[in-house]
Structure 1
Amino acid sequence: MSNTSWKIGRLFGIQLEIHFTFFLLLGFYIYVGHQAIGWRGSLTLGIMIVLVFVSVALHELGHCLTAQRYGIKVPRIVFMAIGGMAQMGSIPRDPRKEMIITINGPLVNFAIAAILFVVLCITYRDVGYVAEGSVNLLRKYFTDDYVRSPYNPWSLSWVSFAWGLLGWNIAMGLFNLLPIFPMDGGRLLRAALAKKFNYLQASKIAATAAKVIAAVLIAWALLVSQHYLLAVLLVFIWIGGDEELKYVAVIEQYVGKTVSDVMVDPPKLPDNTPMSKHALQAHWLVDDHTAEIFSSAAAFPVHAEGELVGVVYPDLLWEKAGH
């Protein structure tokens, strides 16, 4: 367990963790449900939030399993109030690979929705009714007008949960495809731009476009639809895009360099420097271990032929990069 998240297990070699903000979100909806109809409301909304995060987990696994096929290590996935965050060992520089890794997340959402759509069609024996219900579910996400929806948030029926998950997975699949960096749509835009620009330039253009689109959507959420939670989510995404851009600007300065190029002699480090239990090899490329190195506060011992030859100090790399 870290200071802010708890380990809940491993899947396909990936550490799964729950961030404390997930419990804040769960608690909020349990409270809302109780205020509405008592403990039954708490139970139904609580179950729905858990099911939604199962969908989030499958979405992130869509990214991660594809990345693993390309040889990219995925140390962990953290589930937070605003969704899931997969920590990949490196960012693919091949635009085609980045596009495939990125698109497989939303495709999982659409696949879940398709399965639920078929199940509901079989249940009701009426494709038209299920199609109309699906459209009405989406309308509830994008308008504050009254729309009759087949989803009953206070029902413990599996059919009601199926309706809720159907609408949520379609909405989230579409929402993730908005070209707002660092969401999936923003990453797809960055990958497309990377075919004509270098990686950092492509990231800057994608981040700038994201801010314009996010600003318009925040204004719409606040002034038109009164979807205040959406506005808050977009603000967090805006901040996340800025942080991602800073991260890309730093790691771009170490592209093509080996661990031996960036290591220092152990005596040059302060005596109180925390040391990682994971050793790096001197011949490894920094590109392949950026997430591990730059997200750590600990220094990494560097080995060559079984001998300690130096130390990689992440804070020093950040300082040299001007951050």
Structure 2
Amino acid sequence: MKHHVRLFGVPVRVDPTFLILIAVFGYLFFLSGDDPDGAEMFVLWIPLVTGAVLAHELGHAFAGRAFGLTPFILLHGMGGLTVFGARQHRELSHGRRILISLAGPFAGFAVGAVAFFAERYGGFVPETIAQRTLNIAWLITLIWGLVNLVPILPLDGGHVVATALERFFGFRGRRYARVLSILIALSLSAVCLALWEEWFWAALGAILAVQNYRAYRIEKRWEEADPLADVLERGYEALAAENLALARKVADAAKERAVTDGAKARIAHLEAWTALMSNEPVEARRQLERAAPSGQRDAYLEGRVLLATGDASAALEPLTEALEDRSEDEVADALVEAIRLTGNLEPLRALLRVDARIERAGVEPLRRVASGLSDAQAGEILDRLFDYGGDPLDAYAAACRRAADEPERAFTALRSALDAGLDPARLESDDLAGLDPTRLRSLRALVASAEE
């Protein structure tokens, strides 16, 4: 069963707490007083707030997607959250991470600017519902954006500061950002209470301060329990920059601190990646075997090493598993290579049978896998993605891939796409040239008569 909707290709899930909270605020603003238009404004308030938060989160999502990430949006009681697939070994640059953080507020500002100018110059009569709706729309986007730019984690401004500090101080940078967040949150809380008696904002500041203090203590314990974290992060940064000599030096330095089997395994993973990128697959496999007794696995690394050593059949399972952990193009491409070498789609079929596994892997990476496979294999994957998400473009893509060899199934997919809202103009595409022209004309005529 599908638990989310798709907006501009981005999965969006709305938690009930989000709607409950904005309904409570709407009641306080419009229904608890003597506003003559209170009922109408309350009804409009919920989609206005939802739209403002979605515009903000879509800014993050579009920016992340532009840099190759797979976004997922969750609207919850505290606002919105955009999450992406993990990028363990080829992490985005600090600059790009900052751009993704800033994209949310500025996307909201852009939407708010449209509402502002429409209100000011659209000729609306003051105090009418239309004028008040536009006024509230730009105020919400402005306030939401400004609040998120405050340099307190987990707000966007806090992430910008944390990313900048990580650029200079590595692993410890986020802990420094936590300290700064605590100080700013407590200061703002005190100012709101002392100068304006704003209990809501004061309480929010106190909550954020407590959250950051707890996170600080947890991260400090992690660092104390994991002295290798900072060193290994530098090693993977060296790999991302393709500085293999530096990555080897970092691994050698880390060995001096490694005591437990788990620590040694993580160093072995770094050395395996370095060997793999140095075109030394046998050495990479040897390093993986060193890490095996600890039980720590990197499924993507395992799959890549097996592929590089010529064992594509064994690579299928770990690469399919890796697609769920890291929704990235490079994982999808490696899985395509393994499937094309073996012709075996079974591990991927097992993933596609479970909605939760599709959600973890991400629709875009699965579409990428389909694009690299045979027409029959791609059609099977795209049919399942249409069943999962209901996107008419998936059914249309399945029809295009099956047009030459499976015309009956192609027509079935095409009808499903049209029923799901596909633009009928797509029926003129050359990608459907393999279909029976008479039946295709009949389908076009059927669509045309339905539109009349």
**Is the TM value for this pair above 0.5?**
yes
Structure-1 residue corresponding to 2:319: 281
AA at the equivalent of 1:11: L
Write the distance in 2 (CA, Å) between the matches of 1:282 and 1:242: 38
Structure with greater helix share of residues: 2
Aligned mates of 2:27, 2:327 — CA distance in 1: 42
* Equivalent position to 2:192, from 221, 231, 243: 221
1:105 deviates by 0.6
Counting aligned pairs with the same residue, the percent is 22
From the CA coordinates, give the structure whose radius of gyration is larger. 2
Alignment of 1:164 with 2:106, yes or no, is no
Tell me the CA shift for residue 54 of structure 1: 0.7
How far apart are the structure 1 equivalents of 2:179 and 2:154? 11
CA contact (8 A) 2:26 2:46 kept: no
How far residue 194 of structure 1 moved from its aligned partner, in angstroms, is 2.5
Distance 1:243 1:20, change over 3 A: farther
SS at match of 1:77: strand
SS of aligned partner of 1:195: helix
Seen in structure 2, the aligned counterparts of structure 1 residues 7 and 220 have a Cα distance that, compared at 3 Å, is: farther
Match of 1:210 among 181, 186, 202: 181
CA RMSD of the aligned region, Å? 4.1
Q: Which residue, out of 5, 12, 34, partners 1:9?
A: 5
Counterpart position of 2:112: 113
Unaligned runs of 5+ in 1: 126-149, 265-278, 291-302, 309-323
Query: Which amino acid counterpart does residue 263 of structure 1 have in structure 2?
Result: R
Query: How far is the alpha carbon of 1:84 from its aligned partner?
Result: 0.3
Q: TM-score when scaled to structure 2?
A: 0.47
Report whether the alignment pairs 1:58 with 2:29: no
May I ask how many residue pairs the two structures share in their alignment? Answer: 250
Deviations 1:160-202 (A, max 9, x none): 111112122222222211111221111111222233111x211
RCO higher in structure (CA 8 A, sep ≥6): 1
Distance of 1:44 and 1:280 partners within structure 2:
53
Alignment partner, residue 23 of structure 1: 19
Higher strand share: 1
Is 2:22–2:49's contact at 8 Å kept on the other side of the alignment? Answer: no
1:83 paired to 2:121: no
Q: Secondary structure at the match of 2:178?
A: helix
Q: Which runs of 5+ in 2 are unaligned?
A: 237-265, 274-287, 299-316, 329-337, 348-452
Which residue in the other structure is 2:152 paired with? 180
* Counterparts of 1:176 and 1:220, CA distance in 2: 18
CA drift of 1:205 comes to 1.1
Q: Structure 1 counterpart of 2:146, which letter?
A: L
Alpha-carbon contact 2:60-2:104 (below 8 Å) kept: yes
Aligned counterpart in structure 2 of residue 37 of structure 1, from 24, 28, 34? 34
Distance 1:223 1:62, change over 3 A: same
* 8 Å contact from structure 2 (residues 182, 213) kept in 1: no
Question: Shift of residue 15 of structure 1?
Answer: 2.3
Measure, in 2, the Cα distance between the counterparts of 1:283 and 1:195: 31
1:63-78 superposed matches below 5 A: 63-74=60-71, 76-78=72-74
- What secondary structure does 2:168 align onto? coil
Structure 1 residue 244: Cα displacement: 6.2
1:263 to 297, 300, 304: 297
1:281 aligned partner, one-letter code: L
Report Cα offsets for 1:208-232 as digits up to 9, x if no partner: 1011000011122333323333234
Deviations 1:66-114 (A, max 9, x none): 111212222x211123210112213645111111111111111211122
Counterpart contact for 1:59–1:106, Cα < 8 Å = yes
